Amino acid sequence: GAVVSQHPSRVICKSGTSVKIECRSLDFQATTMFWYRQFPKQSLMLMATSNEGSKATYEQGVEKDKFLINHASLTLSTLTVTSAHPEDSSFYICSADGQPSGNTIYFGEGSWLTVV
């Protein structure tokens, strides 16, 4: 079964509004969570690394004021897309470290964001 849960799976919002995406680790404590963005037919692009209780580390070119990341607990990280624009429409997916076993990272189901 899923070890990382992401919600919502699909969201449509109006341009100028903000939308929050949640990433939860199930049955384990995620010391680190990663947020990715994926454009159609492309690979995953790491946006930021989120550590519980500290500020997220953003990759070069990612606007930290636009993509707010909060990792308030060991099981929850949130990505808020602020003042969304149509060009923010994309597939966003999270993953969590501190996995139950092995060295792998498990991913959430992903969230399709459409800004109209």
Partner 1 sequence: AQKITQTQPGMFVQEKEAVTLDCTYDTSDPSYGLFWYKQPSSGEMIFLIYQGSYDQQNATEGRYSLNFQKARKSANLVISASQLGDSAMYFCAMREFNTGNQFYFGTGTSLTVIP
Q: Which stretch binds partner 1 (CB under 8 A): 22-30, 71-79, 81-89, 93-101?
A: 93-101
Q: Give the integer Cα–Cα distance in Å for 110 and 116.
A: 19
**Residue 95 interacts with partner 1 (CB under 8 A)?**
yes
Q: Which residue number, 49 or 70, has a Cβ lying nearer to partner 1?
A: 49
Residue 75: CB minimum distance to partner 1, A: 19
**Residue 108 interacts with partner 1 (CB under 8 A)?**
yes
**Residue 78 interacts with partner 1 (CB under 8 A)?**
no
Pairing status of strand 19-25 against strand 4-7: antiparallel
Q: How far is CA 94 from CA 9, 15, 16, 99, 116, in A?
A: 12, 23, 23, 13, 23
**Residue 25 interacts with partner 1 (CB under 8 A)?**
no
Nearest alpha carbon to residue 96 among 23, 21, 17: 23
Q: Which residue number, 5 or 82, has a Cβ lying nearer to partner 1?
A: 5
Q: How far is CA 50 from CA 10, 16, 45, 98, 113, in A?
A: 22, 25, 15, 12, 20
Residues lying near partner 1 in the complex (CB under 8 A) are found at: 32, 34, 38, 41-44, 46, 49, 91, 93, 95, 97, 102-110, 112
